[in-house]
Amino acid sequence: MTGARGETGPGRAEGLLLALAAVAVAFAAADTYVVVLALPDMMTDAGIPIDELQRAAPIVSGFLLGYVAMLPLIGRIADLRGRLPVLVAGLVLFAFGSLVTTLAYDMPSMVAGRFLQGVGGGGLVPATLALVADLYPPHRRAVPLGVVSAVQEIGSVVGPLLGAVVLALADWRGIFLLNLAVGLALAAAVRALGRRSGSAPEPAPGRFDLLGAVFGTATLLLGGLLFVRPPDVLRDLYWGQLFIPYAGDGRWLTPLGLATVAAALLTLARWLTARRPLVDLRGWWGAAREADLGGATLLAIALGGVVLAFATADPEIQVFSDRGWWYLLGSGLAGAGFVVHLRRAQAPLLPRGALRRTPAWGAVLVSFFVGAALIAALIDIPLFARTTVHPDSQLAAALVLLRFLVALPVGAVAGGYLTRRLGSGPVTAVGMASAAVGFWLMSRWEFDSLEQWTATIPLVLGGLGFGLALAPVNAAVLAATEHAVHGVVSAMVVVARMVGMLVGISALTTLGLRAYYAEQADLPPAREVCDGSTRCAEFTDLIRSAGIAQEHTVFLGAAVCALVAAGLALLLFRGADTREIDTAESLRAAG
């Protein structure tokens, strides 16, 4: 797929292909939220006490690390190798990560699986956005971009509900088994449709790599036994010896562990050396090198440091994790190295001039502030609900956020249609201004506000506003850049939003904590008040008031971020050609 299909848009097969890609993006987005419900059970199986939630943070941050750090490289590979191969590979990797997570028995194996899921799921986003640019001309991209964004946000709504249904029928492993099945099914469907539409090349003639398939199957079977350790086999006097380690007490130094490693090495060797391997590792390695693997590594370290610094912190009590400054130092050094590398490399990860036009780099900047504001809604709306009307129900607090999330996909579709008529700048500005108004109204919520129907107004305003901004930001960057870099620039916009979310929650939490401690400054210690008297209830109300003051400050800070995004969009998106030219205007232009 080398360019836009012209003014007529995609054919039926290509349209269905884009729909499948959007569904895949939505399913990967749902996985981001579905793990929240499963986290307590995953902690139990990993041997982590339920009251040490901070030790489970790598399960979440591992996914974010894979999602963010590898996005630019995957986006660039999509430019060089094609959208369809990246979509299929992303789905297969997402499915494999789901398999590893399903079989995981300790924290390292869970984090490894979640990381692979993040890499695979994250790679779907830039490839799908670039696919839209391939299939539609600039003035017709906004609506499909809005639909893709809407479907992605629907995933965030469906994720918790899907997790609740699966957990009602099975344990947490059932969630990732479902991911495995759906990921493989979507990969097969995307590949078949790609060939049908002519978007994917036919496989080169040659014999099926039977030996590679045998080695790969053996690796999966042996690895599955190693991870699951069936009790009946483990207790058997003969077969149980396969699980006895030669040294120490780990699993990998057992006969079965060493056999798994040997099978994996044979699989890799076969896939690297076969004339027509089952998995073309040589081709992907060559594509990674062509995409500037060295630069991508530096950028991945820089982004990874930011992710680890902020994502592993407890947002209720700290800005950074305990080692956050060290992570940020490493991130800064890697970032500086990446800038130097871009100036010296002959074919850098981000080609020179890729973001030279104002709407292009402006979209990255606007996306950062959109993310900084959005995270306040995703985290602090449920926190406000827990502080006030739902102190004992995480589910009820999440349902409050659901009103916000349901409005998001509606706004995303509307934003696509409006962008065709009004342009990216005005639509983004209106959307973020609406979000700012919603946050301002939230900053005026009181103890019982969520029990009133009027609380829905700011939630809907905020959700619609953020939805309106999604399509025009993507449309602006695609319209202002060349086709050959659509994958990597789409990735940079997504990365900017994710980094904005991480930095935003840190900065806004800092402001909120200052307000919290200022409210508590004149309060006596709890042990001096809560002695069984009625004053204890009054003291508790004062503590809750301090918590509300913290959330109010966060909401006001998010409103400022939203207004900054609105102003920047109006200023920087003026040169983005995303509007559809109507017949009358075309006739006037023709003289």
The domain segmentation of the chain, as residue ranges, is 1-201, 209-262, 355-576
The answer to whether the CB of 480 falls within 8 A of the CB of 360 is: yes
How deeply is 47 buried, as exposed, middle or buried, from its count of CB atoms within 10 A (0-12, 13-18, 19+)? exposed
Burial group, residue 337, by CB count within 10 angstroms (0-12, 13-18, 19+) = middle
**DSSP letters of 129-190?**
HHHHHHHS-GGGSHHHHHHHHHHHHHHHHHHHHHHHHHHHHS-THHHHHHHHHHHHHHHHHH
The Cα 33–Cα 233 span in angstroms is: 36
| Pairwise CA distance, residues 197 & 232, whole Å | 50
Residue 85 Cα to chain centre, angstroms: 20
261 token code pair: 């490693």
CA distance 547 to 373: 20
For tokens 């301090």, the residue is 546
Tell me if residue 55 falls in helix, strand or coil.
helix
CA distance 466 to 373: 9
What global pTM score does this model have? 0.82
d(CA 66, CA 507): 23
- Each of the 591 residues of the chain gets a pLDDT tens digit; together they read 444 454 555 667 677 888 888 888 888 877 776 776 677 788 888 777 766 666 667 777 788 888 888 888 888 888 888 888 889 999 999 999 999 998 888 888 888 999 999 899 888 888 888 888 887 777 777 778 888 877 877 776 677 777 777 777 888 888 888 888 988 999 888 888 877 765 555 555 567 788 888 998 999 999 888 888 888 888 888 888 888 888 777 788 889 989 999 999 999 999 888 888 888 888 888 888 888 888 889 988 988 888 777 766 655 555 566 677 888 888 899 999 999 998 888 888 888 888 889 999 999 999 999 999 998 888 788 878 877 777 777 667 777 888 888 888 889 889 888 988 888 999 999 999 999 999 999 999 888 888 888 889 999 999 999 999 988 998 898 888 888 888 889 889 988 988 888 888 777 777 776 766 665 555 555 445 555 555 555 545 555 666 677 788 889 999 999 999 999 999 999 877 776 544 333 333 333
Q: Which CATH class is domain 355-576?
A: mainly alpha
Tokens of 588: 């006037």
- CA 133, 138, 140, 144 dihedral sign is positive
Which fold is adopted by the domain 1-201?
Growth Hormone; Chain: A; (1.20.1250)
Given this chain, do its domains 1-201 and 355-576 carry the same CATH topology? yes
Cβ-Cβ contacts under 8 Å for 447 (sequence gap 6 or more): 388, 389, 544, 548
